A and B are shown apart, each in its own frame.
Chain A
Amino acid sequence: MSLYLPDTNVLIDFGRNAAVEQKLDAGVAGGSTFVLAPSTIEELSRGVVNGGSRHFENDRKVFKWLRAHRWPVLELPIPFMGALLGSPVRMGRVVPEHYHQLNEMIARSADFDEFLRRKDEPGSAWTDIHRTKAIHDGVLDAEFTTFEKIAEEP
């Protein structure tokens, strides 16, 4: 029995390649369990938004699988690391439950329009999800700028 953290490239194939679904299901049947990283759910969600109504039914298959098993979602990297280091630092207000909420929102929506309606329901933490690519690109720009500065250091 092992605990697996699948990356996006594995899960993105879920709806495209039946062999991936079979392997994951075989792993579950054999006693393997899974955890999910917030960044993986976000990345899959960007695919849902980018795919729109045309690909929604296929794109949501993996979310239905995740919902059926309700695998735990890990903390974001900084609080995850901080807990192991014994640091009292906690950045931001995002918690794993928010990612379960996002997963539910996609898995339970019958179509893309319903998904867009659900994102604006009271209590939703994902009202900006339709802007996910722009938000992500902004984060990446900031990260790469920081990274380039580090790379330029002697």
Chain B
Amino acid sequence: MIRRFSTDSFRPDLDLFRQLFSAAIEYGDSAIRRARAGENLRKNDAGVFGDFQLFFYLADPQIHLLTKEDFSTDIKNSPQRTRIVTLDSLR
């Protein structure tokens, strides 16, 4: 994915990429593990790509993702996980 941002004169910083998009990367890795374990994501979790896209926006440190879903089994390590919150956290 990082190659999408490269040009002849520009190469994205891999460490910066991992840091900025840690939640999305962890979620993507989790989805790949589920697929490798035989889960049919297209059939059972077609929303996986929509969720995946939203996690990239957590690169903005002000943004909290407001959701009804529980992603705690997919995103356990990213520091951004604390900004994935439910409606009850609305102040």
* Chain A interface residues toward B at CB < 8 A: 1-10, 13, 20, 23-24, 26-27, 30-32, 35, 37, 39-40, 43, 74, 77-78, 80-82, 84-89, 91, 140, 143-144, 147-148, 150-151
Contacts and interface: CB of A to CB of B under 8 A. Distances in A.
Interface of B: 4-7, 10, 12-13, 16-17, 20-21, 31-32, 35-36, 41-42, 46, 49-51, 53-54, 56-57, 59-60, 62-69, 85, 87-88, 90-91
B57 A74 contact: yes
Contacts of A151: 32, 35-36
A7 B63 CA distance: 12
Nearest to B1: A81
B7 A87 contact: yes
Contact of B50 (A8, A74, A84, A85): A8
Given A7-B51, A8-B50, A27-B91, A88 B66 contact: no
Given A39-B54, A78-B4, A5 B42 contact: no
A23 B87 contact: yes
A14 B68 CA distance: 13
Nearest to A33: B62
A39 B32 contact: no
A2 B60 CA distance: 12
Contacts of B12: 85-87
B87 A82 contact: no
Contacts of A39: 50, 53-54
A10 B67 contact: yes
Nearest to A37: B54
A23 B90 contact: yes
Given A27-B91, A30-B91, A78-B4, A7 B57 contact: no
B67 A85 contact: no
